[in-house]
């Protein structure tokens, strides 16, 4: 069977407390969920549903945030949100702030995002995207009796590469990585360090049908055989001791 990537379009924006699974199951594709489907939810709808949308008029920048904003030509309120969500600043240059978030992600601006949200608002990352993915998967199982995997995706830049790609920031019901260490290649050589970030690859594939302006915040990946061992975001995070960029 061929791999299928099925976009799920929402008719309206997501609000705090919305029943995402209820909205999903009202769509044609949602009513036809199958066992072993993988559902990819965008970070943005999870953040909105969980109340991680911030009214910038309520943000009070500190002197530090104001100083950084002045030096880097940024909004002081956005800088304050970045600082609030940052465990450690990795680098600041050319108006870009690279942060290590409290969740362990290393990304631009601590994941603070003003796209696809009303003017005057910004979204934060989910507090615990693995937990969010677990909750969604359990609700799907309860309401449909289908065993699926759930991934929460976000758009990240990459060292040495132009452009952005979607990656997994929360995983439930499948392994995050396929590890080929110890297996033999087609020339019978033993593989030493080959590990494929399959959850990230699935997120990137799903973005091809979701886009950024199509109001399609969920995609179903069908007919992909995955390892059902439960993965976590932590599996995808390189430790600082092995990270050449920190």
- Does residue 108 contact residue 98 with C-beta atoms inside 8 Å? yes
- Dihedral angle at the C-alpha atoms of 64, 70, 75, 77, nearest 10 degrees? 20
Residue with tokens 């929460």: 152
Beta-carbon count within 10 A of 215 CB: 15
Over range 135-157, report the average pLDDT. Answer: 96
List the single range of 59-73, 78-92, 109-123, 172-186 with lowest mean pLDDT. Answer: 172-186
pLDDT score at 174: 96
Over range 157-184, report the average pLDDT. Answer: 88
218-222 and 86-93 as β-strands: parallel, antiparallel, unpaired? unpaired
Domains of the chain: 4-51+126-236 (3.30.1330.100), 54-122 (3.90.1660.10)
pLDDT score at 246: 65
- Does residue 243 contact residue 105 with C-beta atoms inside 8 Å? no
Inform me whether the pLDDT recorded for 240 exceeds 80.
no
pLDDT category at 213 given cuts 50, 70, 90 is low
pLDDT in tens, 21-61: 999 999 999 999 999 999 999 999 999 999 999 999 999 99
Share of the chain above pLDDT 90, in %: 72
Check the CA dihedral 49-15-98-67 and report its sign.
Answer: negative
- Mean pLDDT, the chain, integer: 91
pLDDT category at 109 given cuts 50, 70, 90 is very high
Inform me whether the pLDDT recorded for 18 exceeds 90.
yes
pLDDT score at 245: 67
pLDDT category at 160 given cuts 50, 70, 90 is confident
3-state secondary structure of 114: coil
What is 125-184 written as a DSSP string? PPS-HHHHHHHHHHHHHHHH----EEEEEEEEEETTEEEEEEEEEEEESS-S-EE-TT-B
What is the 8-class DSSP label of residue 7?
Answer: E
Residue with tokens 């008029």: 57
Backbone φ, ψ for residue 31 (5° rounding): -70, -15
Backbone φ, ψ for residue 228 (5° rounding): -85, 5
pLDDT category at 94 given cuts 50, 70, 90 is confident
């Amino acid at each position: 069977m061929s791999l299928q990537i099925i976009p799920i379009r929402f008719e309206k924006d997501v609000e705090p407390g919305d029943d995402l699974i209820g909205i999903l199951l009202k769509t044609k594709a949602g009513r036809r969920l199958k066992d072993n489907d993988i559902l990819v939810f965008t970070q943005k709808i999870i953040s909105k549903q969980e109340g991680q949308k911030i009214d910038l008029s309520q943000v009070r920048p500190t002197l530090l945030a104001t100083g950084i904003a002045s030096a880097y030509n940024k909004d002081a309120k956005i800088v304050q949100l970045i600082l609030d969500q940052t465990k450690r600043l990795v680098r600041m240059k050319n108006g870009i702030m690279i942060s290590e978030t409290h969740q362990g992600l290393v990304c631009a601006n601590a994941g603070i995002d003003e796209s696809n949200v009303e003017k005057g608002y910004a979204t934060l990352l989910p507090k615990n995207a693995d937990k969010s993915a677990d909750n969604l998967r359990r609700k799907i199982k309860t309401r449909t009796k289908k065993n699926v995997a759930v991934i929460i995706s976000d758009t990240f830049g990459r060292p040495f590469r132009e452009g952005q790609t979607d990656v997994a920031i929360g995983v439930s019901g499948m392994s995050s990585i396929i590890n080929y260490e110890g297996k033999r290649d087609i020339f019978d050589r033993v593989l030493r360090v080959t590990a494929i970030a399959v959850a990230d690859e699935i997120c990137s594939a799903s973005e091809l049908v979701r886009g950024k302006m199509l109001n399609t915040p969920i995609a179903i990946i069908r007919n992909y055989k995955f390892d059902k061992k439960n993965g976590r975001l932590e599996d995808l995070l390189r430790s600082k001791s092995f990270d050449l960029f920190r």
